[in-house]
Structures are given as structure tokens and as C-alpha cells.
Amino acid sequence: MYMKVDVVIKNGLVIDGSGKKGKHQLVAIKHDRIFLPKNDSEVEAERVVDAAGLVIAPGFIDIHTHSDLTLLVDSRGASKVSQGVTTEIIGNCGMAVAPCPPKSKAHMIETGSFIYSDEVEWFWENYKEYLKQFDVKGISMNVGFLLGHGAIRTAAMGLEDRKPTTAEMERMKQFVAEGMEQGAVGLSSGLVYPPGMFADVEELAELCKVVVEYGGIYSTHMRDEEDHLLDSIEESIDVARRSNVSLQVSHLKAVGRQNWGKVVQAIERLEEARKEGINAHYDFYPYPASSTSLTSQLPKWVHDGGWTKMAERITTPETREKIVKEVNPHIESSVGWHSIIVASVNTDANKGYEGKNLDEISVLKQMSPMEAMLDLIYEEKGAVKMVKFSMCEEDVATVAAGKLSMVGSDGYALAKEGPLSKGKPHPRSYGSFPRVFRKYQREQKLFSLEEAIYKMTGSVAEKLSFTDRGLIKQGFVADLVLFDPSEVKDMATYTDPHQYSEGIHSVYVSGKKAYELGEFLDPKSGVLVKPSSV
């Protein structure tokens, strides 16, 4: 008795995503599901794939991305699928593109400016209308989404630095409930960005209590990853303790040379929190440089009221001098102006600065680096993306090796050609997952191949309550990646980031082949992935 299947993959080393040691076995695909036959006699396949020398793993789940709009620009998800990623978790760092009521649209686009918003028209007003676009466009990788606290706060009360009224708080709770009912995996915060930076623990905990009712997580870009890193860890744990929410600390790091080494204490504190009953984890990207909006270097008070108020402060001599006196000494002592590189701008007039650091730009503009930064921010209306070398390699390795770590790129689904090939973005959008294999598993031997895959698959699926993906298991969704464990590697660099990784043989999304040996097949088989509670 045999079963007819679409594909049989044989002779490969199956590493199932659970962390257990790999073994050789047959893997079959029937429609969008995995079938594990004991031998050839159990199946009749339309296609047979010889995976000799390759690992067969569950498709990687990128727990921290900002592909909220880029997948609507290019359905292939090229820079991610070519790494073996089959599922993107969007809506991180408190930034999302819904809810988007008409009165808040301008503020929403402003606060989400570095999510490549200029490539897609924001015409939706709620989660349902936004999520429908993935079905309308069709995508070739899966999407799971977080609710952005910043987006919700903007929709409910704008960009003001104050506590919400009772009515505004109820409105925010309503947005959270609506989003969770649409299938969100949880709530994210960006406490270094406006308007998230204006929220206190009480506000965050109250919203997380709603998230808990639906079994979701709280993912946080903490308030401070520099001098007050450990205080921010305590604040994150406090939110989880008050609400009983599952905690995910985003891209754990210690920024600035004066803080290097503090990640050890941060990890220890999260491990202690688990002993207290808090379900705490964190994610990381395998690079010593971060990337975000250049406006993040400005003090909290400069952000109050949004871009119009910020522009006024930047151009008013007395206020500008105050900003300079507050920011300049900190950057000079922490990382230095040479460590901040302009990744992308919108205007043609400033395109020549892409890929240059602020020391170099200051020479070209014949002014101090601080003044050059403020001028760029003003000229680009705040929409300047940067790459900032602020971490040490030892810390990144320590964070990667931790038992609570998961891999998240903090990047976008981009492409080498077309509208998503602009600028010089952080190479993590193209190389995060292969880099973990090359640098930390193969070269530094921080963990086994099985452990590396667990950090990208089974661990993430469990955290997000995905009960039918993240493992190679009978009846699970056929999201699969085949790769050469001795050759898989990142190729993207800071100076030439638009380069696909090597060593990924093929990728299946919901049973359809999406990538093979450098070719994108774009089967549009991606789906909206929801937690089991929905």
C-alpha cells in the first residue's frame, strides 16, 4: 500500500528543528503537508529530489523583521527566501502600518518612514484591510504579524508626550483586541522611538493584559540599549510580571564601548526571570552594527509632537545649540562619528552621501559631523536610514550562544534588482541566517548544527504558538529548506549589501518550490500564519 505524493526528498540529513541529532530519512510532500514514509515502497512521487550531502531542515522563521511593506512591493521575498527563510514576523519595534485611521495617516507614515513606505500607497484603515493585501498581491513566503504599540498609540492619541486619557487607553486596548482577533502573534514596542518612548510601564502592562487573553507575546525594542541597558531589562521584566505576558527582548545588545560586556548580566537576569515563572527569551542578529533611523540619535524631547515640531527645534538656533550640546559629547565618547554611516536617503541631492560615515560627510559639507547630521535630518524630513557600528564582536557571540536566543534579522525582504535594491542597507537583510551557520556554528563552534537550526525554527514556532510548522513532523506544513552545511555562507557586506547568500540549495513554502540554486520561482504559496489560539 502506497501513497501518491508530489515530491520525495531522499538521501538528505534531516534535522527536524527540535534540537535533536539529525538522521537520514525520507521526506515527502503532499500538497502543503509533510509526510514521512519509512521506505520507498510507501510512496509514489511525481518528483524525486536527491539531497545527498545536504541538510533538510524546517524553513527558517525570522522572528524580527520589518518587511511590512516590502513583500507587497516584491512578492518573492528574495533576500530572505535565498537564506532559507520561509516565514517573516513583521510589525516589530512598535512600528506597523495598521491601524491607520485617516486622521492619523500622516503621523503613521512619519513614524514608519523607514519601512520603505514610499513604495506602497497606504489606503487601508484597519488590520483586516491591510492583511488582505497579502492575499490580493500574493506572496511567496509566509507572514506572521505583531501589533505595533507605536502605531496603536499614534492612532489613538497622536505623537504627544503624555499619559493617555481613560478613553484613549480603552481605544488602544480595543485596537489590540481587534488585531489579536485578526491573528496577531502579540504586541511589539519601540521604546526608543516616538511615540513608544512616551509610554510608561503601566500603559504597556495594561495593553499586554489584553494580549495575554489571546495567548500572544510581548516583543520589545527596549528603552535603552546603552548606559541604562540593565534598567531596561528590568523594565521589560516588570511589564511581563505585571501582565503575565510571554516576553521577547528584541535584538539584545550593548551599545557603546563603555557598555560592552553588560550583555552577560542582561542574559543572566533574563534567565533568572524564567526561574521566577516569566517566559522570557531574546533574539539577535549576527553583526556588530545596528541600523535604524538617524533621528533615533536625537533626545526624547526633540521627538515630542512629531516631524513639524522636530523641524522647528532643529532650525531654531537656541534649540539647535541645546541639541548639539546634549548629543555631540555622547556620540563622540560612545562610538564616534566615523561609526555612523548613512545607508539611504530619499532626495537625489543627498544620494552621494549613501555609504559614507558622518566624519566623511562633514568634510564634504564643510561643517561639524553633528551639524551635518542635523542638516541631513532636516533636508530629508527625518527619513534618513543609518548603519551604526556600536557593538563588539565578543558581545554578539555571547548573545548568540545563550540558551534563550533566537535568530532574527531585524531586516527586510529586499532584492538585488528593482525598487528594493536602493541604497546601502545593512547586510543583515541578505545574510543573517547563513552568517550564523558560517560564523558561529562552523567557525567558532558556539553550538551544534542542530542547535543553530533550533534557534531558527522549533524554538521560534513554540514561542509564537505555531503548532503545525517549525518542525519536520508528520502532517506539519511543508516549509522546508535544503542546504549544504559546509558551504552555506553570507555574501552581503556593508559596502556591497545587495548580494544573495550561498549554499542554500532549495526552499519550499507550503509545499511549493520557491527557490532553487539561485532561481526564484515565485509560487505565491505564502500564507498569513496565525498562532494556534486564533
Residue 185 has pLDDT above 70, yes or no: yes
- Among 188-192, 221-225, 290-294, 485-489, the minimum mean pLDDT is found in 290-294
Domains of the chain with CATH codes? 60-288+391-464 (3.20.20.140), 293-388 (no CATH)
Closest CA to 430 of 384, 357, 340, 494: 494
Give pLDDT tens digits for 202-226: 999 999 999 999 999 999 999 999 9
Residue 1 has pLDDT above 90, yes or no: no
- Among 20-34, 229-243, 293-307, the minimum mean pLDDT is found in 293-307
Q: Tell me the mean pLDDT in the region 105-119.
A: 69
Q: Tell me the mean pLDDT in the region 462-486.
A: 98
Closest CA to 504 of 1, 91, 56: 56
Residue 114 has pLDDT above 70, yes or no: no
Residue 242 has pLDDT above 70, yes or no: yes
Q: Tell me the mean pLDDT in the region 450-469.
A: 98
Give pLDDT tens digits for 247-267: 999 999 999 999 999 999 999
Partners of 88 in the beta sheet? 62, 143
Q: What is the pLDDT of residue 115?
A: 66
Instruction: Report whether 447 contacts 512 (CB < 8 A).
Output: no
Residue 116 has pLDDT above 70, yes or no: no
Instruction: Report whether 385 contacts 373 (CB < 8 A).
Output: no
- Ranges assigned E (strand) in 17-139: 23-24, 27-30, 33-35, 43-50, 55-58, 60-62, 85-90
Q: What is the pLDDT of residue 208?
A: 98
Q: What is the pLDDT of residue 121?
A: 83
- More reliable by pLDDT, 115 or 36: 36
Closest CA to 185 of 60, 91, 80, 319: 91
Residue 117 has pLDDT above 70, yes or no: no
